[in-house]
Amino acid sequence: MLDVAIGLFAEHGFDDVTMAEIAEAADVARATVFNYFGSKHGLIEAVTESVIVFYREMLDAALADEEASAPDQLRSIYEEMGKGIEAQRRLFRSVFREIARIGLGLDEGSVAQRANDEAIARLRVLIERGQMRGELNEWFDPATLATAFRSLANGTITKWLYEDASDSLVARMREAADVLLMPIEQTRRAANRRGATGGSQ
């Protein structure tokens, strides 16, 4: 049922799909959809949770990779988020409304909220690792940087989703990653300085 709902929301948008249409497409009774999700809002909460879980799994994969640098991993996460959302714009308009509610604390205690908190915890660990390796400077607390990372990503995505932009979200996400990372990225900034001075000290 959830997969069917995601497909319908992606094709038509959340507001233009009814629970009856989801039930029909899933070949179940309308009451069955309500039994599982309670309401249409409960259904979009479940969709949002699945999106956040996928994001959390991306962070798990980054943490399992001991070779790549934290800045490269963070840039890759921004880019992959952009690719997925760009491919299903109608669906993500609804998802990011729910993510905004979570960010404002309006869905406190929900499963999606807990999944979001777990994702932020992983992001903080990834940033801490980058700081310990000397890849990211230590001007800011990892929790502050994790919050900034999430807020910048969500803001960039939400603006693109709702202004009917014709440009690429992936390109915007790459720029957003640089806005966040360039001021705090140790290795690349040092390399850029060396390149500008011809390698002199």
Q: What is the pLDDT of residues 121-158, one digit of tens each?
A: 999 999 999 999 999 988 889 999 999 998 999 889 98
201 found inside a domain:
no
Check: CB of residue 17 under 8 Å from CB of residue 7.
no
Range of the domain at 13: 1-38
Whether residue 57 sits in one domain with residue 14: no
For residues 146 and 119, give the distance between their C-alpha atoms in angstroms, rounded to a whole number. Answer: 10
Whether residue 179 sits in one domain with residue 160: yes
**% of the chain at pLDDT higher than 70:** 86
Whether residue 191 sits in one domain with residue 161: yes
pLDDT of amino acid 14: 80
Whether residue 2 sits in one domain with residue 99: no
Whether residue 55 sits in one domain with residue 131: yes
pLDDT of amino acid 102: 67
Task: Give the domain CATH number at 13.
Answer: 1.10.10.60
| Backbone dihedral angles phi then psi of residue 65, each to the nearest 5 degrees | -90, 105
**% of the chain at pLDDT higher than 90:** 37
Whether residue 160 sits in one domain with residue 72: yes
Whether residue 158 sits in one domain with residue 90: yes
Q: Is the pTM of this model over 0.85?
A: no
Whether residue 64 sits in one domain with residue 4: no
Residue 93 burial by Cβ neighbours in a 10 Å radius (0-12, 13-18, 19+): middle
Q: Which of 3-12, 73-82, 117-126, 169-178 has the lowest mean pLDDT?
A: 3-12
Asked whether residue 197 carries a pLDDT value surpassing 90, the answer given is no
pLDDT digits (tens, 9 = 90+) for 46-65: 888 888 888 889 999 999 99
157 found inside a domain:
yes
Number of domains within the chain: 2
Whether residue 155 sits in one domain with residue 93: yes
pLDDT of amino acid 195: 53
How far out from the chain centre does Cα 89 lie?
14
Asked whether residue 200 carries a pLDDT value surpassing 50, the answer given is no
Whether residue 127 sits in one domain with residue 74: yes
